Structure 1
Amino acid sequence: MDPITIVIATRNKGKTAEIRALLKDYPVEIKDVTDFGPIPEPVEDGATFDENAYKKAHFTARILGLPALADDSGLEVEALGGAPGVHSARYAGPDADDRKNNEKLLREMEGKENRRARFVCVLSLAVPTGPALTYEGYCEGEITTEPRGSQGFGYDPVFYYPPLGKTFAEMNLEEKSSVSHRGKALREFRDEFDKVLVWLRKRLAEEKRLLVGDICQHDHA
């Protein structure tokens, strides 16, 4: 059987390489949006990670006419009512970088005893006509009182994971992948990938049939 092309809805080469390695034993060709020249950016205005992941995946699939995989992830802090949540990347403003986001979070957490937090990741695999599969991963931890470690990105320096006694920024990639929200969602996706392939082949065959039907109808018009 011919391999299926799946587009990762990202320009982050690290993410693409991670997913390519994860699915290396399956008949798929992994590309990302950088392989297709300039394409419009999806609007991420969903109220949940689930909505945003689906919006990105469906938008990319529709534009390119290929199955697309997108993820949306962020940090939810209990004492802040779930903030920064879907606004994690822009928590300190539209031009914020990781350092500013972390500084704002630590300011908001000053004097708070409850420091429980969790990272959330939702993966969405969509086909051009709309249907999608969804996978979720979570990692529970605590917010530190100051940044620790130099690895990773985002909120990693302030997210402490008690079972390993380290922040995400103090872990190597292997340690982080084994416990992280994205690692868990991706492993769930990989563990079900035989079923995913069956689903994809069925959906893509249906799309082809619909397309051929449309063309035939058009010819007879």
Structure 2
Amino acid sequence: MKTNKILVATQNRNKFREIVKLNTIDKLEFLYKKNLIDIVEDGNNFFENAYKKAYETAKYYRMVSMADDSGLVVDALNGAPGIYSARYAGKEKNDKKNNTKLLRKLKNKLNRKARFKAIIVLARPDGKYWKAEGVCEGYITTEPKGENGFGYDPIFKIDRFNKTMAQLSLEEKNLISHRGKSIRKMLDKIDQNFTEIFKGGINE
């Protein structure tokens, strides 16, 4: 059976693992590539960044590509860190420093409600695209807990489990996470639009 391939536009192996874990389409394979072209994320929102990454990658490598842009939106900080979540504490994108800065910003704040948002875009080299969105509600703890996950997972608590995301297994996280929800929605769209997505000999 022929397998169609989608290049995932990320250098984050944790994100890639989550996508592969959720894939239920037998004739579909997700690819990870080291040293992808460098794309400046200069969009004004999650969608603009995700689309730019997916489309520029698809155009450069001449194959269907998928990218996400996601981040943490904190009510008491007027939506920050938002699209700057990965580099909240600096360009080096250090998870520990990002968490430390966020906890410092929320010190003495009573409202600790927050949500993770993820936008996934699948793009063909000609610019045609499909979009999916996922949201996960929770709140920010006062200290990190857990060893799993990445990013803000150690300080983002889910009421349903009474645990931080970093205390969940990958299977538990994928059930409720913003990325898990958006990936499942995207997989449904891929399944429903398979022929159109891969038409024109792309990936052959």
TM above 0.5, yes or no, is yes
Which structure: greater helix fraction?
Answer: 1
Matches within 5 A, 1:46-125: 46-125=43-122
Query: Which gives a bigger RCO, structure 1 or 2 (Cα 8 Å, sep 6+)?
Result: 2
Aligned AA for 1:65? Answer: R
What RMSD over aligned residues (CA atoms) do the two structures have, in Å?
Answer: 2.0
Distance (Å, rounded) in 1 between the aligned partners of 2:93 and 2:192 = 40
Which amino acid letter does the alignment assign opposite residue 115 of structure 1? Answer: R
Matched to 1:3, the amino acid is T
Change in Cα spacing, 1:146 to 1:39, as seen in structure 2 (3 Å) is closer
Q: Which residue of 2 aligns with 1:157?
A: 154
Q: Return closer, same or farther for 1:72/1:130 CA change in 2, 3 Å cut-off.
A: same
Distance 1:198 1:96 in 2: 38
SS at match of 2:193: helix
Q: Report how many aligned residue pairs link the two structures.
A: 203
Q: What SS does the aligned partner of 1:56 have?
A: helix
Question: Greater CA deviation, 23-32 or 149-158?
Answer: 23-32
Q: Which runs of 5+ in 1 are unaligned?
A: 208-221
CA distance in 2, matches of 1:126, 1:25: 18
1:179-211 Cα offsets, whole Å, 9 max, x none, are: 10011111112233321313313xx3298xxxx
Quickly say closer, same or farther: Cα 1:115–1:39, change in 2 above 3 A: closer
Could you state the TM-score of these two structures normalised by the residue count of structure 1? 0.85
Q: Verify: 1:126 aligned to 2:123, yes or no.
A: yes
- Please name the residue that 1:135 is paired with: 132
1:32 corresponds to = 32
In 2, Cα distance between the equivalents of 1:17 and 1:154? 15
Aligned to 1:22: 22
Moved over 6 A (4+): none
Percent of residue pairs identical: 47
Find the aligned partners of 1:114 and 1:89 in 2 and give their Cα distance: 22
Q: Does 1:166 align with 2:163?
A: yes
Of 165, 169, 177, which residue of structure 2 is paired with 1:180? 177
Unaligned runs of 5+ residues in structure 2 are none
Cα shift at 1:146? 1.3
Provide the secondary structure at the position in 1 that maps to 2:121.
strand
Q: Aligned partners of 2:194, 2:131: CA distance in 1, in Å?
A: 14
Match of 2:41, SS state, is coil
Shift of 1:118: 0.2
- 1:166 CA displacement: 0.7
* Secondary structure class of the residue paired with 1:146: coil
Q: TM-score, normalised to structure 2's length? A: 0.91
Secondary structure of the 2:160 match is helix
Q: CA deviation at 1:59?
A: 0.6
AA of the residue aligned to 1:83: A
Q: Please identify, of 150-159 and 191-200, the stretch whose mean Cα deviation from structure 2 is larger.
A: 191-200
